Amino acid sequence: MRFKLYIEYEGTRYSGWQMQKNGISIQGKLYEAAEKIFKGERIEIYGSGRTDAGVHALEQIAHLDVNTMLAPEIIKMKLNDELPSDINILEVEKASLKFHARYDAKCRIYLYQISRRRTSFGKPFVWWIKDKLSFDKMLTASKCFIGMHNFISFADEDDAEKSTKVLIEDIQMKEEGDLILIRIIGSHFLWKQVRRMIGVLVEVGRGNLTSKEIKYFLEHNSPTPARYTAPPSGLFLEKVIYSGEKLNKNLSSIIKIKSELQTTDN
């Protein structure tokens, strides 16, 4: 049987989603939990895509293949009983055997949080930038990324990727208290692509780069964006969209972890 898993996690102490020989991964922890529940059964778990070390997920999607008579709500309960507190199963649904968490995904949505102030509570979830940033310049420059582009300058080499062309459907930005929120919607993303896009936008905000230079990076293979790779702490996989699902483009609806960050200093 196949089940669709909706998963949230804090990625701070993990090497990323994908199982690795020398690292603790989200996928690996899911396998460990599933093996305790479905003893002796063959188990397969596939995610919608990889997230880098330290990156979080508000809603990662995976599918679980296992022979079981357990109902979805019981699987959810049992998995959460076995998983560490920084990984949580939000929902479990029965899925068609034709459903594939990665290949059926229509687009992925990432959220990045930049904090304009030092924070005691939200440090693992933001990139605190001391320098003054021009929000307007960043917003204007972000439009350069929209459309189909070759993002080879924004990605590390990855043998699993056959092409470095990615369709960016939209980029939304909003100032929310002490936060700058950046939401990037794309067909898929290359290794470190989002973090380098964010890093370049921050350099625009600092006054060190311009929209013209972003266009150059998209037209030529340049090593420059790698120097500006944003830290993983502020990055969240917000949502994965599948056929028949609607994309909520209201940026205010995604502010789910703002509580401590939105408080004012005493």
| Share in percent of the chain as helix, strand, coil (round to 5) | 30, 30, 45
Helices (H), the chain: 26-37, 72-82, 135-142, 193-206, 211-219, 224-227
- Asked whether the beta carbons of 6 and 59 are under 8 A apart, the reply is yes
Looking at the DSSP bridge assignments, the partners of residue 166 are 149
- Cβ proximity of 107 and 65 under 8 Å: no
CA distances 56 to 5, 111, 122, 168, Å, are 16, 10, 13, 21
Is residue 88 helix, strand or coil? strand
**Overall size of the chain counted in residues:** 266
Which amino acid would we find at residue 244? Answer: G
Tell me if residue 156 is catalytic.
no
Residues 108 and 48: beta-carbon distance below 8 Å: yes
Cα–Cα distance between 198 and 193 in angstroms, integer? 9
CB 141 within 8 A of CB 210: yes
Active-site position among 52, 131, 136, 265: 52
Both tokens assigned to 210: 């311009």
> What is the C-alpha separation between 253 and 183, in angstroms, rounded?
11
Q: How far apart are CA 18 and CA 181, in angstroms?
A: 26
Residues assigned a catalytic role: 52
